[in-house]
Amino acid sequence: MDNIHKEVIVFVVNDNNEVLLQKRSANKKHFPNKWTVLSGHVEDFDDTFEAAAVRELKEEIGLTVNISELKYLTENEVIKDDNSKHITKYYSIISNKNEDEYTIQTEELSEVKWYSCNDFVNMMENNDERVVFSSKILEVFKSML
């Protein structure tokens, strides 16, 4: 199977039981102006999924972390209808910065905001149209609470 798509999802959480959500920029092709968790593709130059997670944290929200700070949660592998394989690895990281201390990548995001973990779960469970998520994101997020 030559067509393998690799992705990372990182839940940025703080000590106040909140999760940092990112609002996708208005110019995004998919899900513009929707809130979501940090995610990104593993590029060919990334040595590992963890390296991609560290790179995405730096690129998208200006958060510099070491691989050792990432907490591995789980992974998911799906074969799509076109016979492509999609592998997603999920991580969490603790960050206690204020919203205005993040440097967002404006091509990708318009803002970041702390939401209580319970509010985020409720948004996903109620299919809130402001949020982009999958059933797997909901499952993994709830398992880490």
> Which residue ranges make up each domain of the chain?
4-144
Spatial distance between the Cα atoms of 89 and 12, rounded to a whole number of angstroms: 14
Mind listing the pLDDT tens digit for each residue in 121-132?
A: 999 999 999 999
Backbone dihedral region for residue 123 (phi beyond 0: left; psi -120 to 50: alpha; all else: beta)? alpha
Residues 23 and 109 sit within 8 Å (Cβ to Cβ): yes
pTM above 0.85, yes or no: yes
Contacts of 6 (CB under 8 A, 6+ apart): 41, 42, 49, 52, 87, 88, 89
Least Cα distance to 75 among 85, 83, 65 occurs for 85
Residues 35 and 64 sit within 8 Å (Cβ to Cβ): no
Contacts of 41 (CB under 8 A, 6+ apart): 5, 6, 7, 52
The CATH superfamily assigned to 4-144 is: Nucleoside Triphosphate Pyrophosphohydrolase (3.90.79.10)
Mind listing the pLDDT tens digit for each residue in 69-91?
A: 999 999 999 998 888 999 999 99
Mind listing the pLDDT tens digit for each residue in 29-69?
A: 999 999 999 999 999 999 999 999 999 999 999 999 999 99
